[in-house]
């Protein structure tokens, strides 16, 4: 009986390993999206909406914006080097958690980056970042990037750009210890990312650091930073991570929280949202929280100047009501809810008015209740919104 149990257990393990190692080939009609680890949850959100409309997205986590999204954009589609063939996450309405393998490896249909292509120049083997003819850059949802710590009430709640500059620049580079900023004084407990990471590029460009000198021993990805903050010497640990990576997974919230951030020339520090516990992300949206970036969706057009039908559908979904709701729930900001924009990573803000603003719907979805200043309306009927208003996703917004 005991011998049988051991054999059965061994068989089960063998089958499990085999299943994982030999994922089925991906269908030929999938939309292959390759991009940064920070973008994965956003892609998942969009992919679930796309799956409901018959478009299957396969996501390949390249680990970084430059190696993934930008490489895919600037490298000719016919090139075979650098194309990932490892098991990917497939989003199929019939099998939402399936994985598959690109066989043979091929160029992604959409490369996703946290940063502009130009930010990857000279990084991780990416040379010229000029987008080839026919490759477009569609701005997607906005991610807030945070300096985060373990969630202990005795730990600091805010940090200034000057302190962050020293922590990520001086201390972590093994420089003069006099530049240290308590309690983040232990080099081994400062968790940055590699230079090809959009998270690093965004922070370094906003702080004025040298973009190609990331912190020592960068974490392998967003998940690694999250895990490190949970397990390292918590009192002295700090890391850079996208806000949408600090969301509950399977109902369990990570014990990590973002610090309020005070930018250069700013008088106070601000959380991404109006308070540490709210979810309106108003400070990202109106320019009080400095460290954010749009996702970039790089896609190729054919010689006739058109996207493939499925790619066109995916790009068209980015600002759909379902995608806006999905993106909002993972603590990112759809472009339609932004009030400021920027044209380079770390660049200055400009006032931004979307063609169809969705601030009311965003806040209603994020917090469960629309602000009292928001007025409901019937989609397609602008009459209740006055001469200067329009009905967007069921709320009156500025025209």
| Half-sphere exposure at residue 286, Cβ-oriented, CA atoms within 13 angstroms | 10
Considering only 128, 176, 302, 306, the residue that binds other proteins (CB under 8 A) is 176
With 0-12 CB in 10 A as exposed, 13-18 as middle and 19+ as buried, what is 231? exposed
114 vs 200: CA distance, rounded Å = 10
Helix (H, G, I), strand (E, B) or coil at 324: helix
CA atoms within a 13 Å half-sphere pointing along the CA-CB vector of 266: 19
Contact between 271 and other proteins per CB under 8 A: yes
**Residue closer to other proteins, measured from CB, 35 or 272:** 272
Closest distance of CB 370 from other proteins, Å? 10
Q: CA–CA separation, 4 vs 12, rounded Å? A: 12
Which of 288, 296, 300, 331 is the binder for other proteins (CB under 8 A)? 288
Q: Is 287 in the site for other proteins (CB under 8 A)?
A: yes
Q: How far is the CB of 156 from other proteins (least distance, A)?
A: 8
Contacts with other proteins in 365-384 (CB under 8 A)? 371, 373
Q: Which of 209, 243, 332, 392 binds other proteins (CB under 8 A)?
A: 209
Unique residue bearing structure tokens 């040298």:
210
The stretch among 4-12, 15-23, 131-139, 172-180 that binds other proteins (CB under 8 A) is: 172-180
- Nearer to other proteins by C-beta: 150 or 165? 165
Of residues 44, 92, 286, 322, which one binds other proteins by CB under 8 A? Answer: 286
> Which residue lies nearer to other proteins by CB, 170 or 315?
170
Under rule CB under 8 A, residue 290 binds other proteins: yes
Contact pick of 63, 140, 169, 192 for other proteins (by CB under 8 A):
169
Q: Which residues between 133 and 162 bind other proteins (CB under 8 A)?
A: 157-162
* Alpha-carbon gap, residue 265 to 206, rounded angstroms: 12
CA gap 250, 225 in Å, rounded = 19
Q: What is the DSSP string of 355-375?
A: SS--HHHHHHHHHSS--TT--
- Rounded CA-CA distance 289/45 in Å is 24
Specify the stretch interacting with other proteins by CB under 8 A; choose among 189-197, 228-236, 258-266, 309-317: 258-266
Q: Which residue, 121 or 170, has its beta carbon nearer to other proteins? A: 170
Nearer to other proteins, 207 or 326 (CB): 207
Query: Closer CB to other proteins, residue 10 or residue 264?
Result: 264
For other proteins, the binding residues in 65-94 under the rule CB under 8 A are none
Which helix (DSSP H) or strand (DSSP E) does residue 48 occupy? helix 40-51
* Of positions 116, 191, 270, 393, contacts other proteins by CB under 8 A: 270
3-class DSSP assignment, residue 305: coil
**349 lies in the site for other proteins, by CB under 8 A:** yes
**Coil, strand or helix at 226:** helix
Q: How far is the CB of 167 from other proteins (least distance, A)?
A: 8
Task: DSSP for 88-120, please give it.
Answer: EEEEBTTBTT-EEE-SS----SEEEESS-GGGG
Residue 27: CB minimum distance to other proteins, A: 44
Burial of 313 (0-12, 13-18, 19+ CB in 10 A): middle
Candidates 82, 85, 106, 173; binder of other proteins (CB under 8 A) is: 173
251 φ/ψ angles, rounded to the nearest 5 degrees? 80, 0
Q: Does the protein bind other proteins through residue 166 (CB under 8 A)?
A: yes
The length of the chain is 399
Size, binding site for other proteins by CB under 8 A = 57
Q: Which of 397, 290, 310 is nearest to 46 (CA)?
A: 310
Query: Which is nearer to other proteins, 168 or 325 (by Cβ)?
Result: 168
Stretch that binds other proteins, among 33-41, 191-199, 234-242, 266-274 (CB under 8 A): 266-274
List Cβ neighbours of 26 (8 Å cut-off, separation of 6 or more).
32, 58, 88, 90, 100, 101, 102, 103
- For position 340 contacting other proteins by CB under 8 A, the verdict is yes
Helix (H) or strand (E) holding 10: helix 2-21
Structure tokens at 380: 């397609």
Cα(63)–Cα(222) distance, integer angstroms: 9
Tell me which residues touch other proteins (CB under 8 A): 157-163, 165-166, 169-170, 173-176, 178-179, 181, 207-210, 213, 260, 262-271, 273-276, 278, 280, 282-283, 285-288, 290, 339-340, 348-349, 351, 359, 363, 371, 373, 398
């Amino acid at each position: 009986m005991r011998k049988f149990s051991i054999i059965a257990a061994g068989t089960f393990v063998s089958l499990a390993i085999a299943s994982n190692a030999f994922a089925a080939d991906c269908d030929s009609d999938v939309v292959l999206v390759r991009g940064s680890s920070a973008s994965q949850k956003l892609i998942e959100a969009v992919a679930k909406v796309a799956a409901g409309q018959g478009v299957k997205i396969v996501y390949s986590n390249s680990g970084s914006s430059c190696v993934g999204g930008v490489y895919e954009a600037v490298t000719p589609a016919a090139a075979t080097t650098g194309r990932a063939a490892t098991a990917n996450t497939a989003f199929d309405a019939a099998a939402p958690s399936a994985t598959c393998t690109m066989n043979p490896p091929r160029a992604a249909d959409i490369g996703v980056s946290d940063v502009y292509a130009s930010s990857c120049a000279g990084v991780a083997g990416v040379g010229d970042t000029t987008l080839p003819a026919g490759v477009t850059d569609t701005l997607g949802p906005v991610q807030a990037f945070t300096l985060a710590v373990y969630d202990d009430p005795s730990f600091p709640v805010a940090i200034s750009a000057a302190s962050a500059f020293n922590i990520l620049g001086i201390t972590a580079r093994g420089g003069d210890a006099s530049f240290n900023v308590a309690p983040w004084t232990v080099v081994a407990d400062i968790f940055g990312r590699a230079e090809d990471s959009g998270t690093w590029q965004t922070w370094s460009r906003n702080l004025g650091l040298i973009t190609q000198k990331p912190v020592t021993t960068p974490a392998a990805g967003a998940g690694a930073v999250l895990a490190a903050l949970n397990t390292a010497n918590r009192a002295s640990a700090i890391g850079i991570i996208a806000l949408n990576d600090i969301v509950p997974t399977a109902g369990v919230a990570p014990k990590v929280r973002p610090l309020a951030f005070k930018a250069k020339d700013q008088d106070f520090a601000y959380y991404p949202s109006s308070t540490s516990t709210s979810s309106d992300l108003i400070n990202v949206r109106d320019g009080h929280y400095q460290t954010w970036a749009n996702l970039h969706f790089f896609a190729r057009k054919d010689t006739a100047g058109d996207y493939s039908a499925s790619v066109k559908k995916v790009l068209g979904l980015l600002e759909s009501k379902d995608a806006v709701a999905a993106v909002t729930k993972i603590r990112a900001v759809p472009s339609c809810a932004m009030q400021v924009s920027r044209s380079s990573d770390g660049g200055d803000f400009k006032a931004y008015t979307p063609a169809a603003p969705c601030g009311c719907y965003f806040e209603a979805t994020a917090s469960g209740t629309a602000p009292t200043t928001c007025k409901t309306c019937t989609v397609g009927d602008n009459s209740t919104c006055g001469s200067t208003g329009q009905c967007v996703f069921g709320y009156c917004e500025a025209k």
